[in-house]
Amino acid sequence: MNLPSVVRLLARPMPVAAIQLVAQVSLDGVVARHPQLFDRLSEYENRRFAIIATDLGLCFIIVPHSRRLSVQRGTSAPKADVRIAGSLLTLLSLAEGRLDGDAEFFARGLSIEGDMEAALALRNAMEDCRLDLPTDLASMAGPLRRPVERGLSRIRSHLLSRGGARWN
């Protein structure tokens, strides 16, 4: 499932530094609410996880030990131990447990390469955390938390409704 073309067009000219800042702040917010996410990856803490949003042409590299994220343009991942590629909506839906990763993998909507044990550990850690991205991200909005959460939930619902029967 791909993002609407207007979103892809808007994201294309954005500087990588701006995307990285937003992504890092988002990751920090999720980890603040779910510190066990990276704790569950202790055995794989020095692995480089490349999460590739194929529809945006962006690669997000995460190393659990540092809890840092870097972003680069393109769909190749240099020096990554694990490479997980799919559309941004597929990746976000997998993170929240709203999509069956096995079904998506076998339907070729998701590509996984490299250290499969580390990839499985990441999947299990995310499932155990029961991420809810609108709630997790809105928690950083202070007094605007509730309207931000409602807005993000509406956006998510709209985008998920475009996914059809593949959604859990």
- Assign residue 24 the CATH number of its domain: 3.30.1050.10
DSSP labels for 112-129? Answer: EEE-HHHHHHHHHHHHHH
Instruction: Give the structural domain span for 33.
Output: 5-166
Q: Position 49: which residue type? A: F
For the chain, how many structural domains are there in total? 1
Q: 158 is written with which tokens?
A: 């709209």
pLDDT score, position 113: 93
Distance in angstroms (rounded) separating the CA atoms of residues 168 and 151: 22
pLDDT score, position 10: 66
pLDDT score, position 166: 47
pLDDT score, position 61: 95
Q: What is the mean pLDDT of each run of 10 residues along the chain (168 residues)?
A: 63 84 90 88 93 91 92 82 91 84 82 94 89 86 90 82 53
